[in-house]
Amino acid sequence: MVSVLLDIIDGVRADLRARQELVSLAELQEQVKHVAPALDAWAALGGNLAQRPELMVIAEVKRRSPSKGDLAGIADPAALAVHYRDGGASVISVLTEERRFGGSLADLDAVRAAVDIPVLRKDFTCDEYMIWEARAHGADLVLLIVAALSDEELRSYLDLTHQLGMNAVVETHTAEEIARAVAVDAKIIGINVRNLKTLDVDRGVFAALAGSIPAGPIVVAESGVRDVADVQHYSAHGAHAILVGEALVKDSTPRERIAEFKAAGALAISAR
């Protein structure tokens, strides 16, 4: 049985080939020379250990997902990003995968123009072209999914990200994937409680794995945030940040919800 992750990446590669026919890598590299330097997302998410007394929020612009279908129309992603920023989000994540998530690089452009905080291009990075593309469109971070990359790809893509002045959220789901992320000195490690091969969610995955990440990297809890209780659970088990999409795009008051999540996270962190 083909995993959902592999099926998604097949589509990503097909769409990538179409974009490469329109804009060459050399053209992208020239565009990057004229883009403002990347913002420091690592610092925005807490940076040094001494700067992590509160829970940071990565708030996501996400129209739909393979597991839940349509989530929200989001006619104005820029306006939503402004609400996120005003609520206290440290980073805005923008889905750019089109087939399963309804995203686009146009969404990334709109958000980048609207906010002055770091922006994550959330996609299934499978070629260095996509990293140059992200930077050309003003992204400050990219997503690198360990399960989708070989060790060689993971290291080279992370190196390129840093060469471009960017950061990467290195996403894991198992102890073996965390070990691979640590081995390449990932500065931001995400633990996705959703299994991308099956789309099943198990919030216990975070508590089981977070303790295996050594001191130093920023630890991000990804997926499964429904309410304050989930935020407190992740915070109590070592999350420095949470990545939230569905709970925010389906909420009529996302700015207030982010502030509520941050307050709940701060309480849980102080009680550790």
Report phi then psi at 97, rounded to 5: -75, 130
Q: What is the DSSP string of 148-202?
A: GS-HHHHHHHHHHHHHTT-EEEEEE-SHHHHHHHHHTT-SEEEEESB-TTT--B-
**What is the pLDDT, as a whole number, of residue 1?**
41
pLDDT 10s digits, 53-86: 789 999 999 999 888 888 888 999 999 999 999 9
Looking at the annotation, which residues are catalytic? 60, 62, 122, 171, 192, 222-223
Instruction: Say which CATH superfamily domain 4-271 falls into.
Output: Aldolase class I (3.20.20.70)
pLDDT 10s digits, 136-157: 999 999 999 999 999 999 999 9
Report phi then psi at 161, rounded to 5: -55, -45
pLDDT 10s digits, 16-33: 999 999 999 999 999 999
In contact, 244 and 60? CB cutoff 8 Å: yes
In contact, 266 and 54? CB cutoff 8 Å: yes
| 120 DSSP β-pair partners | 93, 141
